[in-house]
Chains A and B, each alone.
Chain A
Amino acid sequence: MFTKELKKGSTELLILALLEERPRYGYEVGKLIERLSGGRLTFRIGSLYPMFTRLEARGLITGRWVEKAGEPRRRYYRLTPDGRKVLAQQRGIWKEFILAVNGIVGIGHA
């Protein structure tokens, strides 16, 4: 439903937001996005993965291998202090963006 371009612009924000609460592993994040969006936003594992790498490269998240009893070995990601700052910024920008677009396109609040 949503084009690649639309998804691309917001994916980083999605990941950062979902890691705010606690560290998560990649597959978990993908499933969460699907669930919390009511199935409207889906990502293939292979397509989501590079986002994690990019965020890691920019120092906004860090990854760590964790082995818990009874569970497979997984790479968990968590926000860095820089990541929290950027998340707060991005949230603000996103809210402004939505308001601006809605104002033009004419979607009122339900």
Chain B
Amino acid sequence: MPDWRALVRDRLSLPSVRPEREAEIVEDLAQQLEEAYREALLQGESEENARDSVMRHLPDQDAVRQLLEAERDIVPPLERWQEGAEAAASGGGTLRAALGSLRGDVLYGLRMLRRTPGFTAIAVLTLALGIGANAAIFSVVHAVLLRPLPYPQPDRLVLALDANPSLGRDRANPAPGNFLDWRSRNKVFDGVAVWYQFSRTLQSDGAAEQIQSVHADGDFFKVLGVAPSLGAAFDPKTIPGALYNEAFFFVGGDRVLVLSDGFWRRHFGADPGVVGRTVLVDGVAWTVIGVMPPTFAFPNAQVDAWMPWDIARSWDPSRFPDGPPRDYRFLNVIARLRPDVSLERAQADLAGIAADLEQRYPKANKGWTVRLTPLQADLVKEGRPGLLVLSAAVGFVLLIACANVAGLLLARASGRAHEMAVRAALGASRRRLVRQLLTESVLLSLAGALAGLAIAYSSLGLLVSLAPSEIPRMEDVRIDAGVLLFTLLVSLVTGLVFGMAPAIQASRIDLTSGLSAGGRRGLSAGRGTSRLRELLVVGEVALALVLLVGAGLFVRSFARVVAVDPGFDPGNVLVMRVFLNTNAYGSPGKSSQYYRDLIARLGALPGVVSVAGTTALPLSEVGIDFSRPYWRDGEPDPLGQAPQGGIRTVTPDYFTTMRIPVREGRAFSEQDRMGGPLVIMVNEELARQTWPGVSAVGRRLVIDYRRRPYVYEVVGVAGDTRYYGPRSRPQPEIFIPHAQNPYLALNVVVRSTGDPERLAPAVRNEAVALDPAQPVHSVTTMDALVRHAVAPDRFSMSLLSVLAAIALALAAVGLYGMTAYLVSLRTKELGIRIALGAEPGSVLRMVLGRACRLAAVGGAIGLVVAFAAARLVTALLFGIESGDPATFAAVTLLLAAVSLAAAWGPARRAMRIDPMSVLRHD
């Protein structure tokens, strides 16, 4: 019994008819044909003759057309897409007609996509990957680079920096004396403020905690323009501020502070009665006067409290007879431009003041000028290049996804030739058909966008948590209106991009072959489609290669970064911070004694190899890191042109604990104590620069530190360290014995035999046992600090690698699909070849050869593009050239292997074509 239903379905193509109604028609006709067949058999006809005679009863073109016309009158008006087309095409084109027609297109498109759920699912998933990745990265770009800062008129905010072109420094921190002149003499700012961030111990209700506090002078909140959410902020008219000495310990003045929203919630449980409460900061009582809103995070999200600073009066006249110093360059200055003032004019004004200060105070200011830079640009400059690279990478992934979906659509178009022919026969213009197909494409990409947004939303949390802290404003990253709008635009453009070629191709209707039996595409039309698909695959392979090269370069760069010798041994070292209370330990000798006792106690713990203290720890963000000018003894003071050396005050065992080699001379010992000869150690970099070619040991250096320049004798030369991270170059460093220069706050480092974190509880206990009011803070390990230092490199490398892997997978899928399609097109031809005696091996080689040639062309184009593109990211790479041959070679091999694997399956199927079944189906 022939399958009449299948035969009827094959003959009928009723695209504008609801599936249920179409099923009914098929059922009815099939049942009638079956009855006719049975009757013929009963009349004695053979099966074959009965079948042939009933076959003549199948509907012809004319009947199908009549059926469609009749069905039109039955089905609801919305499905009369043709009428809508005619109305729009007739030029009457009112908005209502156009909208109605569009609505018809959309409903029709949805129905067509529902009919092929497998295809739709694959296409939507592919697009979701591409669009979702773009949405996720754009959320970050939007929050970090694009969204204006949360202050009124944020474009009016600028940072004021010192600069000294003759010393090759284009940014340095301003000094207090100079700042005060800028403030009093400028004519271009509505307000100018200064701040400095410092860590302190805050105690309330017994519990002590380390906080990040920002000391800001009176204009600070006025310049930023943000009011507190609770209580009041400080302003110079009512609260002149606190006085701090040069080591930033409190010495007098107003003791009030404003808390951050985060700290208020964490520490005070968001208690609205916090205003007026007293807390102990470094052992001194301070009063809380206000709380800032949650969106306020200046200068960064780690700040817990802001404290007023009377910077003009903070300088002890006995130590600073000329007033606030002009060569202590450690401040941060922010200003708000007057509404009528341009950046250029402000720059000129400040430069004029700086020139005058250079004349008046040559010792401190020779060669120094001022540079203004917009705040937002400055905040994002660290993160910008990396984010731009990632944006380009996800853009590539999306392009590859588009190419894949376009290929799928092209293949699908072959099966819709009949439908297109019928519609054309019913009067649809080519433009109309293209419009309908494009509507389907846009529907696909909108669906992909929805799924992609879900992917982006769920991955944002992970992205934010992995992001290095160098990228600012990550806490602002979310899917907001801007991201949604971007995603919508991207999906619309995507739909048009990948839909255009297939739509044009599919609407090229060959009426005769289209309407004939089943409407199989003619061979020539198939060839046109396959050429397009080949082009798409070449493009995909090229793009994938570019991404692979990028990822490969970043992977190798990261490996180089991680392999850099930091100059010390970070393994098994516990680090922590102690901040001694000024009142208890401010008198001479007390802090030295405390640290001697603490180091002795910790050294006695089981598992501890050695203990030391330092004011400034490599890679650490907590600590006292500053530089002072120095020059060779016997030479004149170079005034403002002296080189700067990083000052590190250390206890004797510092170098052994950190395993920093002592290259010449000796390390500090107990003999280097207060009252003895002033000694220092220097690092190799300083020794090389200052005394090239000769030993530095025994030589004398003048350092302008403390009240006046002192002469120090160099007793030892230590190995260089990468103080600011693996990518930084060693800077000149000067080490001073703690006994001769006692500091209240030190980083304590403990080297252990095993896992340093296991020591942490014991270490804390010892500190508390020594003085319960002096807990230790910021306990971590050197290994953790090293990992943190390479976090930006790891982040870029990881993301790029993931994107490159996705791109490679998509390109492989594209190559596989295209090869399979080609094989299906040429099935008959290949079958005939095999029937005529072609070896299966030669068929395999033919198919594989075609696929590999395409991959090779794509790869070659990709290599050229990659070579050019890689040069753009040279600045981000470390230790390798952008044209690194090993990377390019490895990536090319990988791509070749994957391409071969992708084409293998279809090629094998081609090899196994059974010529007999092929010929029979003809």
Contacts and interface: CB of A to CB of B under 8 A. Distances in A.
A53 B21 CA distance: 11
Contact of A57 (B25, B36, B70): B70
A91 interface: no
Nearest to B74: A57
Nearest to A50: B66
A50 B73 contact: no
Interface string A43-75: 011110110011011100001000000001111
A26 interface: yes
A72 B35 contact: yes
B71 interface: yes
B56 interface: yes
B34 A26 contact: no
Contacts of B31: 27, 72-75
B821 to A, nearest CB: 34
A27 B70 contact: no
B869 interface: no
Contacts of A58: 73
B647 interface: no
Given A27-B35, A72-B31, A72-B35, A46 B70 contact: no
A49 B28 contact: yes
In terms of DSSP, what is the predominant structure of the interface of chain B?
helix
Contacts of B66: 50, 54
B45 interface: no
Contacts of B27: 73, 75
B28 A75 contact: yes
B63 A50 contact: yes
Nearest to A30: B32
B63 A46 contact: yes
A49 B29 contact: yes
A49 B36 contact: no
Interface in A81-103: none
A30 B59 CA distance: 14
B659 interface: no
Nearest to B75: A57
A68 B166 CA distance: 105
B60 interface: yes
A50 B57 contact: no
Contacts of A46: 11, 29, 57-60, 63
B63 to A, nearest CB: 5
B57 A45 contact: yes
A25 B67 CA distance: 18
Interface in A27-50: 27, 30, 44-47, 49-50
Interface in B748-791: none
Contacts of B74: 53, 56-57
Contact of B60 (A27, A47, A54, A63): A47
Contacts of A27: 31-32, 35-36
Contacts of A56: 70, 74
A74 B866 CA distance: 67
B546 interface: no
Interface string B16-54: 000000001101110111111000000000000000000
Given A26-B28, A27-B36, A75-B31, 10 more contacts: A27-B32, A30-B32, A45-B33, A46-B11, A47-B62, A47-B63, A54-B70, A54-B73, A58-B73, A63-B28
Interface of A: 25-27, 30, 44-47, 49-50, 53-54, 56-58, 63, 72-75
16 contacts: A27-B31, A44-B57, A45-B29, A45-B32, A45-B33, A47-B62, A49-B28, A49-B29, A50-B66, A53-B70, A53-B74, A54-B70, A56-B70, A56-B74, A73-B27, A73-B31
